[in-house]
A and B are shown apart, each in its own frame.
Chain A
Amino acid sequence: MSALAALIRRDVRIALRVGGGALIGVLFFLTVTVLMPFAVGPDLALLSRLGPAILWLGALLASLLTLDRLFTADHEDGSLDLIVMSRTPLELACAAKALAHWLAAGLPLIIATPALGLLLNLDGAATFAVALTLLAGTPALTFTGMIGAALAVTMHRGGLLLAVLVLPLSIPVLIFGVAASQAAISGPLSFGTPFSILCALSLISFVIGPFAAAASLRHGLD
């Protein structure tokens, strides 16, 4: 356990230091959200209707932005070799890395959501609903994205390939995340149904993500 705690602490620490990815993700999220009202125009009703979708898209893209470094950074400097060789099961090490990535890059997005909700003309309840769905849904984005990050190591191609691989996997999360937010804001569907499915997607990704990523890393060793 202390090995996993050490891994999480190290990754969070690196992300928060200068040059780490945590702040970049939040700034990107802010930029996307601020640009939207300029593109959509000064229609407040339209803006608040699109608000949850814009916040979700922003969070999705922001978490993708730093995800491609999840394993490639460790691969390039040789840390990954030592992690694979260690007595900690690789699946658990992958899960710990994903958790650290979520803590450093996902959680700040949720904390920033209330401020950005103001820009999109969302009232307090609506902002809270979006933040809650992001809290339940962004772990799924990280844990499924981890599979793409591991494949990117195997294929020696980062960046764009990751987006192509990961974005289709995140469609269900996006659908139910936005559906739950809309339901909470305007109805007529109940909030509980899409929100439960969103939580289920996160739980599934906790199980599948680490195993798929570890299998991919083992296969791709060279």
Chain B
Amino acid sequence: MRLSGRNLKCVRGGREVFSGLEFSASSGEALAVTGPNGAGKTSLLRVVAGLLVPADGAVALEGGEAELSLSEQAHYLGHRDALKPALSVLENLSFWREFLGGRPEDAGQCLASVALDHAAHLPAAYLSAGQRRRLSIARLLSVRRPVWLLDEPTSALDAAGQDLFVRLMRDHLGGGGIIVAATHLPLGIETRNLRMEGAK
């Protein structure tokens, strides 16, 4: 499997964020997107996720399932964590597991693997920022998708959480997955780097 972007150009609000951007990542590879604030890291991830239409160029996934589009084979972990405060931790996760389909594994087990099982019945409104992030990460585990698009995945995580996440990313890459992560901090795994300088 190979994820590649060719000659990508992104324009937002009339301002060119980046242009002529090329990247590629194969099965088992992680791509770390770095750069100053406003360089377009999030925009790039959203273009790959299919949530933004590039002004030029295209993103392609070769070797995936032919009938599915790239965004249907990708998990997107953004700044906003898609959690409903009125629902419990388990209800939030069960919903996404059921809605995203695929091959669901046991929701309780996913919570256990991010060390949130003790809070399963707590309303998500009472979670700390780090716990919310852990719950979002549990969503990545609950349904298998080959491509993970992560936006500052380790922000708000404590040291134990970061170790745990490194292990989960290793497992994902070991299973032939692809990770594209926008980050300021080293991810703790072997990565290829894509440095974005931002438009002048």
Q: How far, in angstroms, from A124 to B175 measured CA to CA in the complex? A: 66
Residues A221 and B51 in contact, CB atoms below 8 Å apart? yes
Residues of A within 8 A of B50 (CB): 84-85
Residues B86 and A18 in contact, CB atoms below 8 Å apart? yes
B96 at the interface (CB under 8 A from A): yes
* Interchain CB contact (< 8 A) of A221 among B52, B72, B95: B52
**B61-80 interface with A by 8 A CB criterion:** 68, 71-72, 74, 76, 78-80
B163 at the interface (CB under 8 A from A): no
What residues make up the interface of A, taking CB atoms closer than 8 Å to B? 2-3, 5-7, 9-10, 13-14, 17-20, 76-79, 81-88, 221-222
Binds A, one of B19-27, B28-36, B97-105: B97-105
* Interchain CB contact (< 8 A) of A10 among B68, B80, B95: B95
**Contacts known (A81-B76, A221-B51, A221-B52); A14 close to B101, Cβ less than 8 A:** no
Counting residue pairs across A and B whose Cβ atoms lie within 8 Å, the total is 80
Residues B51 and A77 in contact, CB atoms below 8 Å apart? no
Residues B84 and A87 in contact, CB atoms below 8 Å apart? no
Q: How far, in angstroms, from A76 to B81 measured CA to CA in the complex? A: 10
Q: How far, in angstroms, from A76 to B86 measured CA to CA in the complex? A: 15
Residues of B within 8 A of A221 (CB): 51-53
Closest A residue to B13 by beta carbon equals A222
* Interchain CB contact (< 8 A) of A6 among B12, B49, B68, B95: B95
* Interchain CB contact (< 8 A) of A81 among B68, B82, B99: B82
Interface residues in B, total, Cβ within 8 A: 28
Residues of A within 8 A of B76 (CB): 81-82, 85
Q: How far, in angstroms, from A87 to B100 measured CA to CA in the complex? A: 7
* 9 intermolecular pairs with C-beta atoms under 8 Å apart: A3-B98, A10-B87, A14-B87, A77-B84, A78-B81, A81-B51, A85-B71, A221-B53, A222-B12
Residues B80 and A85 in contact, CB atoms below 8 Å apart? no
Residues of A within 8 A of B197 (CB): none
Residues A222 and B52 in contact, CB atoms below 8 Å apart? yes
Q: How far, in angstroms, from A17 to B123 measured CA to CA in the complex? A: 11
Residues B98 and A2 in contact, CB atoms below 8 Å apart? yes
Residues A84 and B51 in contact, CB atoms below 8 Å apart? yes
Q: How far, in angstroms, from A85 to B196 measured CA to CA in the complex? A: 25
Residues B100 and A78 in contact, CB atoms below 8 Å apart? no
**Contacts known (A6-B95, A13-B91, A14-B84); A86 close to B52, Cβ less than 8 A:** no
* Interchain CB contact (< 8 A) of B81 among A7, A18, A77, A84: A77
